[in-house]
Amino acid sequence: MRIGVALGYAGGFKEAVAQVVELEKSGIEVAAVAEAYAFDGVSQLGYLAAKTSSVDLLSAVFPIYTRTPSLLAMTAAGLDYVSDGRFNLGIGTSGPQVVEGFHGVPFDAPLGRTRELVEICRQVWRRERVQYAGKHYQIPLPADRGTGLGKALKIINHPVREHIPISIAALGPKNVELTAEIADGWQPVFFLPERAESVWGDALAAGAAKRDPALGALDVMVGTSLAIGDDVGDRLALTKPTLALYIGGMGAKGRNFYHNLATRYGFGAAADRIQELYLAGRKSEAIDAVPNDLARDLSLIGPRGFVAERLAACAAAGVTTLLVRPVTNDPREAVRFVEELLQLRP
């Protein structure tokens, strides 16, 4: 199991990178950068590439709607170049709140767009003339939709690799199935190892049955909160605002991926209550309504023995890359937590 860190998108930009530099010395193997509606993720990944030498760099994730497929491929090739072949492209749909609310782009056809985008990116990296006649993307643009002057082009530079690993953040059964079919990695959010098989097993198996063997095994990349010690129980409460935000506020009733996931985990009544409170503007009550069991089982927060048990559960559920977020404002404590985790990993 690889161990890495996930950087927040709202914290100190340079401070976070300085911490990654220290953690690289301790032995972490991956640094993941999120992108929402703060600074763009590309800037931080480029800065990380200049400041680090060995860790893999991962976008976690670039929304598929906010860049054209060719621009996304160009960006990935550029980041792979400046990092000497260390970049991994993580993509996902994000959600209507960001895609429509911040970017003003329709949130539509996530499955179809994801498949087509992946195929186009791989064309670009192979330095083929990009010619694609999909349902959602047509390259070059047909004459009846443009000037008629567009022609098929290939990327000018020679990418470091013609196959840059692609991971997809997916939750729903159809999206998970697609991920298991076409992607190098899978980034599930709020991963509860004991429930993973019942929630995603069928979708993963269906996708794997159609998978090209040349892709190799699917890299299961899971993010979680981290604090190790006998006196860190209070840190669990610090994970609840994020859970409340996603379960309660990321979508309307009936259109919230994270609420659906909590329900499938067996926390349906709590998810309904969190959503009711959050959408009514009662955010503090929504946070209080997050079950302790859910917060605990989604985290690595507790004594060494507890964390070791959770690591074993993750390994048994097929997790191959663990991306942690230390729950602390003390950089030295963050390094200590990660170093202890490296000692405990299976």
**Residue pLDDT, tens place only, 36-73:** 898 999 999 999 999 999 999 999 999 999 999 999 99
Among 302, 317, 336, where does a domain finish? Answer: 302
- pLDDT, position 264: 95
Query: How many other C-beta atoms are found inside a 10 Å radius of the C-beta of residue 194?
Result: 12
Which of 37-41, 55-59, 122-126, 267-271 has the least mean pLDDT? 37-41
Rounded Cα–Cα distance for residues 143 and 155 (Å): 22
Do 192 and 272 reside in the same domain of the chain? no
Rounded Cα–Cα distance for residues 315 and 240 (Å): 24
Do 289 and 325 reside in the same domain of the chain? no
Rounded Cα–Cα distance for residues 341 and 319 (Å): 15
Do 161 and 86 reside in the same domain of the chain? yes
Query: How many other C-beta atoms are found inside a 10 Å radius of the C-beta of residue 272?
Result: 17
Rounded Cα–Cα distance for residues 116 and 106 (Å): 17
Listed residue (235, 228, 233, 194) closest to 342, CA to CA: 228
Rounded Cα–Cα distance for residues 65 and 113 (Å): 9
Which of 13-22, 304-313, 320-329 has the least mean pLDDT? 13-22
Give the tens place of pLDDT for each residue, 176-201. 999 999 999 999 999 999 999 999 99
Rounded Cα–Cα distance for residues 129 and 316 (Å): 43
- What are the phi and psi torsion angles at 10 (to 5°)? -115, 0
Listed residue (166, 321, 182, 175) closest to 261, CA to CA: 175
Do 33 and 113 reside in the same domain of the chain? yes
In single-letter form, the type of residue at position 27 comes to G
Rounded Cα–Cα distance for residues 92 and 254 (Å): 20
Range of the domain at 283: 231-302
Q: Stretch 278-299: mean pLDDT, rounded?
A: 97
Do 49 and 194 reside in the same domain of the chain? yes
pTM summary value = 0.96
Q: Stretch 106-124: mean pLDDT, rounded?
A: 97
C-alpha 49: how far from chain center: 19
Count of structural domains within the chain:
2
Do 142 and 31 reside in the same domain of the chain? yes
Do 149 and 49 reside in the same domain of the chain? yes
Do 337 and 282 reside in the same domain of the chain? no
CATH number at residue 65: 3.20.20.30
- pLDDT, position 95: 85
Beta bridge partners of 33: 7, 59
Do 110 and 175 reside in the same domain of the chain? yes
Rounded Cα–Cα distance for residues 164 and 88 (Å): 6
- Does residue 97 have a pLDDT over 90? no
Do 244 and 321 reside in the same domain of the chain? no
Beta bridge partners of 322: 3, 222
Is residue 57 within 8 Å of residue 21, measured between CB atoms? no
Is residue 129 within 8 Å of residue 152, measured between CB atoms? yes
Find the DSSP H helices in 126-267.
Answer: 173-182, 193-208, 240-244, 257-262
Rounded Cα–Cα distance for residues 75 and 52 (Å): 19
Which of 137-141, 210-214, 255-259, 291-295 has the least mean pLDDT? 255-259
Three-class SS state of 203: helix
